[in-house]
Amino acid sequence: MADVDAKKVCGVPERVQLHVAMLALQFGYAGFHVVSRAALNMGISKVVFPVYRNIIALILLVPFAYFLEKKDRPALTPSFVVQFFLLALCGITANQGFYLLGLDNTSPTFASAIQNSVPAITFLMAAILRIEKVRIDRRDGIAKLMGTLACVGGATIITLYKGPTIFGPSRALNDASQSTMLWLRDAKGKNWTLGCLYLIGHCLSWSGWLVLQAPVLKKYPARLSVTSYTCFFGVIQFLVIAAFIERDAEAWMFHSGSELFTILYAGFVASGIAFAVQIWCIDRGGPVFVAVYQPVQTLVVAIMASIHIPWREASSSKRVARLHLCIPHPPGRKRLGCSYLAVVLLPSRF
């Protein structure tokens, strides 16, 4: 891979573009956590929601992939079809399915916090597949290992321990927002243990998807086409599942503008735009570079949730939840780069 600093757009080095793109991506995903919670509380089917989401993403991506990658797109062989199908199974069907099941039994902030294990899982998978190199005799290698252990430890604690409420909107804010924000509140009767297991499956699927895209892009360099094929097979897989699980025609109808908004946001922002940006960053920066920005979501979601949504956060997510101070750099830099993952413990009074 060529040095990412060598390429510039409007005078901005590609390295800077990658960082800006990843930060913007995390804000988009953070909004998706909140939107998804709202969608589930409004009663949208957990099968119908991803079907519409990926259809919208496919409609958005296909024209760009067709016209912009005519010269770069290799012939579609049976081998590529199998690879795209597996990418969809891992990154679309399993990833989104487990996420919605987990979110339905937890909260957006919790779901975002447990996703902080994605950098560690991605790093381990990339190291096993020799996509990411680890040198334990160097500072960057030690930082990678320490960051991985801290990341896994924090995610484990936040999964197993749920303490008393320490932070949430005031009673006055709750009373004032009860009537207008009722549809955004957490549902009752949650199974947090089952939700955690679903979210762990989601993290494993997401990490595997990030890692597996890297070798596919080396053989099939048309990024938007890869994403389009992945969305296409994801839609097919979810439709097959829906044929057995969701046969009620009423579940496929839009009942309010709010439902339509959640689906449009998920399709355009959290899938169409997000997938295109993500695969570009994977191609130029690598899967671990993309994964280490994941913890930014936790902070953004917590702020959004505390301001707009009357659910409360337990002490586990504040005493031991981590604000990961990521100082990543794309490959080709002889610095700590994306290997450095600093974990900062927030004080319990936060």
What whole-number distance in Å separates Cα of residue 330 and Cα of residue 54? Answer: 29
pLDDT of residue 109: 74
Give the chain's length: 350
Q: Mean pLDDT per 10-residue run, the chain (350 residues)?
A: 54 87 92 87 91 96 94 92 97 95 85 83 86 78 75 63 55 45 50 89 94 94 95 97 90 89 95 94 90 80 63 40 35 36 30
Output the pTM of the full model.
0.76
Dig out the tokens for 101 from the structure: 């099941």
pLDDT of residue 162: 58
- Sequence ranges of the domains in the chain: 4-176+186-345
pLDDT of residue 178: 45
pLDDT of residue 57: 96
What whole-number distance in Å separates Cα of residue 292 and Cα of residue 296? Answer: 9
Dig out the tokens for 153 from the structure: 């430890």
DSSP element (H, E) containing 237: helix 223-245
